[in-house]
Structure 1
Amino acid sequence: MTATAHEPTPTQEELLLESFLALETPEGFKAELIEGEIIVSPAPDGEHEDCLSTVIRQVLRESRVDMDCSGNKGLLMPSGGRCPKNHAIPDATFAPRALRLFRGAPSWMPCDGVAMVVEVTSTKPDGDRIAERHCYARAGIPLYLLVDRDQETVTLHSDPSATGGADYAQAHSTAYGKPLALPGPFAFVLETADFA
Structure 2
Amino acid sequence: MSAEPIMEPVRPQADPIDLLIALEKAASPMPIRAEFVEGTGYVPPQPEHRHNAGAVKLIVQFHLAGLDLAGVNDGFRVPHPDGRTMALVVPDFYVCRRTPTELDESYRRAHRGWYPIDMIALVGEVTSTNHETDTGPKFRTYAAAGVPVYVLINRHSKTAHCYTDPVLPGDDPTEAYYKTDEKVSLGDPLPLPAPYPTLDTAPFRGD
Q: Same fold (TM over 0.5)?
A: yes
Q: 1:20 to 1:191 in 2, by over 3 A?
A: closer
- CA–CA distance in 2 between the matches of 1:183 and 1:163? 23
Q: How many residues align?
A: 180
Q: CA deviation at 1:177?
A: 2.0
Q: 1:116 to 1:163 in 2, by over 3 A?
A: farther
Among candidates 34, 37, 40, match of residue 34 of structure 1: 37
The question of whether the paired residues in 1 share the 8 Å contact of 2:93 and 2:125 is answered with yes
Partner of 1:183: 193
For structure 2, the 5+ residue unaligned runs are: 1-9
1:118 aligns with 2:124: yes
Secondary structure of the residue that 1:100 maps to in structure 2?
coil
1:152-171 equivalences under 5 Å are 152-161=158-167, 163=169, 166-171=176-181
Which amino acid letter does the alignment assign opposite residue 41 of structure 1? P
Q: 1:101 to 1:72 in 2, by over 3 A?
A: same
- CA–CA distance in 2 between the matches of 1:31 and 1:19? 9
The question of whether the paired residues in 1 share the 8 Å contact of 2:92 and 2:124 is answered with yes
The CA deviation string for residues 19-56 of structure 1, in whole angstroms up to 9 with x for no partner, is 33443132222211111111112321001012101210
Partner of 1:20: 20
Partner of 1:86: 87
Partner of 1:4: none
1:149 aligns with 2:155: yes
Partner of 1:195: 204
For structure 1, the 5+ residue unaligned runs are: 1-10
Q: CA deviation at 1:12?
A: 3.7
